[in-house]
Structure 1
Amino acid sequence: MIKLFSVKAKQEKEAAEREANGGTTSRQSSGEVRVAKDISELALPRTMSIAFPNGKDDLLNFVIAIKPDEGYYRGGTFEFSFAVPTMYPHEPPKVRCERKVYHPNIDLDGNVCLNILREDWKPVLSISSVIFGLSLLFSEPNPDDPLNKEAAEDLARTPQNFAMNVRRAMQGGYVGQHRFSSCLR
């Protein structure tokens, strides 16, 4: 029987040693190998792009830009930073929206409410699965599982008012007491 906890502890120790050595060891973690595979298999639609702010050698940190072409968020550009742990795919990537957005499933600090990033994460899921989930949040915001309760109530009670508030936020205006920066392209 494989002792998963000892394997995980060994991998965490190796990751800590790599960090302590300034990341100079040439051996890639299983997470780095898997994320390289996931990224090489990405088939992003024209409404999405990927960037590596730390260079292509740092595959564990990247940014996905989503530019919805339909729905409430049409015409906007939303960037999500991904920080992939070395324990990936046994742990989900940490994903954060880099822009303040008026959205039921994204709070004003950029935290994202997506079930596969929390309790429903499984190692068979991939970076592509997460990107698809983020895209789905823009085409079908979910007021039943909110991080931004105000936006969720607005969407559930008055969709027309929600649409006006989304547009106002995307144009760089105020919604309530919160100022948003323009994200229109």
Structure 2
Amino acid sequence: MIRLFKVKEKQREIAENANGRAPVKKQSAGELRLHKDISELNLPKTTTIAFPNGKDDLMNFEVTIRPDEGYYRGGMFVFTFQVSPVYPHEAPKVKCKTKVYHPNIDLEGSVCLNILREDWKPVLNINTIVYGLHHLFTEPNYEDPLNHEAAAVLRDNPKMFESNVRRAMSGGYVGQTHFTRCTC
């Protein structure tokens, strides 16, 4: 009996592939929605998207932001996106690969952005997240920090904060923490 099922399965596969094309992998609802979101992206001119695993793996990609204003002007910051098959019902997991001195991004790359946590709604999309990340670089928020030290410096001494950001982006130390150069 088992052989019979294998034979029938093989015949069905041959019939489906009779047109010479590879079998089509079924996409999850999340993959379909993500494909739509990516096709409709309207990225700022300072932002690019890349698929390190190729176009066959849309669920994992990188976004690079190069701010052209604010404290982080001239820097290059790479974020990884891991999108769940249940997207858009669950927000993508976003991490900053670039070590950055920032009140809303900790040294491990975790990102404090409300739409990635409690304010996520299925009507939001990848474009919304990219603009949210971009906004973190133009308007860092010391009131909701992940890096409390950077937030305190931004709040109490903006000039010192700017100096620390420049030093970190140039590949120097801020306190005991070394940052890799990330300027373009």
Larger Rg: 2
Distance 1:128 1:56 in 2: 18
Distance 1:156 1:168 in 2: 18
Structure 1's unaligned 5+ residue stretches are 1-23
Which deviations, in whole Å up to 9, do the C-alpha atoms of 1:103-129 show, x marking residues without a partner?
Answer: 000000000000000000000000001
The equivalent residue for 1:33 is: 32
- Residue 46 of structure 1: CA displacement? 1.7
Distance 1:45 1:148 in 2: 26
Distance 1:87 1:25 in 2: 20
In the TM superposition, structure 1's runs of 4+ consecutive aligned residues that sit over 6 Å from their partners are none
Distance 2:93 2:179 in 1: 23
The equivalent residue for 2:44 is: 45
**Pair 1:158 & 2:145 matched:** no
Distance 2:48 2:122 in 1: 24
Structure 1 residues 66-81: aligned runs within 5 Å: 66-81=65-80
The equivalent residue for 2:113 is: 114
- Which amino acid is 2:139 matched to? E
Distance 1:57 1:38 in 2: 15
The equivalent residue for 1:9 is: none
TM-score (norm 1): 0.86
- Residue 66 of structure 1: CA displacement? 0.2
RMSD over aligned CA atoms reads 1.0
Structure 1 residues 36-185: aligned runs within 5 Å: 36-185=35-184
TM-score (norm 2): 0.87
Partner of 1:81, secondary structure, is: strand
Identity of aligned residues (%): 64
